Amino acid sequence: MSKARTHLEAKHLEQIPNVGPAVAADMRGIGIHEPRQLIGRDPYELYKLSSARAGAPQDPCVCDTYIAAVRFMEGAPPHPWWHYTAERKRTLTRR
């Protein structure tokens, strides 16, 4: 499945840049079944839900991927997940 170039093209979770089968399965496990359901969501809360469902904290890179997916679906250009690592570190230090 090809990746969407803009949020308007994303019809399936796997079309979101950085989202592969494993992350898409995690998203479905927490009730996100369509890309548009990411709009307006807090990626840090999604990460917490995903970690709780897994029974242990997931790798922090998963949080970066949630940030990338939410930002993309809210209209940001596609960036690799690691583009958001510094943001995650700053944000989680404050929480």
What residues contact 3, with CB distance under 8 A and at least 6 apart? 15, 16, 17, 78
31 occurs within a structural domain: yes
CATH number of 37's domain:
1.10.150
Q: Are 35 and 18 in contact (CB under 8 A)?
A: no
Model confidence at 95: pLDDT above 80: no
Instruction: Please tell me the predicted confidence (pLDDT) of residue 1.
Output: 82
Give me the domain span that covers residue 67: 7-94
22 occurs within a structural domain: yes
Both tokens assigned to 36? 């548009």
27 occurs within a structural domain: yes
- CA distances, 62 to each of 8, 9, 18 (Å): 23, 23, 10
The predicted-structure confidence for 8-38, as pLDDT tens digits, reads as follows 999 999 999 999 999 999 999 999 999 999 9
Instruction: Please tell me the predicted confidence (pLDDT) of residue 91.
Output: 95
2 occurs within a structural domain: no
1 occurs within a structural domain: no
43 occurs within a structural domain: yes
Question: Based on the structure, what is the number of domains in the chain?
Answer: 1
**Model's pTM, two decimal places?**
0.95
